[in-house]
Amino acid sequence: MTDSRSRVAASIPASRSTRLRSLANSFPNVISAGYIAGTNFFHGRLADERAQALVAETHNKRPGTVEDIAETAYFLASPGARHITGQTLHVNGGAFTTR
């Protein structure tokens, strides 16, 4: 659902109105995070075996970090990403490609 929302927002011509321009500029891309260690996303209910399995699915055999996501968000907010629109960036160590 998030992916489709980003595509719709990215397809709105920025010249249509200030409100639509604001929407198109503020929600065009999505960061799809994989397993991020050290967060409370699973509310302490993620079994060690499942965490190890999630790490094993990655190409670099390590859990993601909050810094991985922050650096991706920083890049998307930078001028270097000004032509990236309506995309979902999978920040998961390549685990998405193993499924």
pLDDT band at 44 (very low <50, low <70, confident <90, very high): confident
Q: Dig out the tokens for 37 from the structure.
A: 């260690």
Q: Is residue 88 part of a domain?
A: yes
pLDDT band at 14 (very low <50, low <70, confident <90, very high): low
Range of the domain at 38: 28-98
pLDDT over 80 at 21, yes or no:
no
Q: Dig out the tokens for 17 from the structure.
A: 């109105």
> Would you state the pLDDT for residue 26?
56
Q: Per the confidence metrics, is the pTM higher than 0.85?
A: no
Q: Is residue 18 part of a domain?
A: no
Q: Is residue 2 part of a domain?
A: no
Tell me the average pLDDT across 59-66.
96
Q: Is residue 44 part of a domain?
A: yes
pLDDT over 60 at 6, yes or no:
no
Pick from 4, 62, 8, 1: which is nearest to 36 by CA?
Answer: 62
Q: How many domains does the chain have?
A: 1
**Comparison of pLDDT for 30 and 24, the residue scoring more:** 30
The residue count of the chain comes to 99
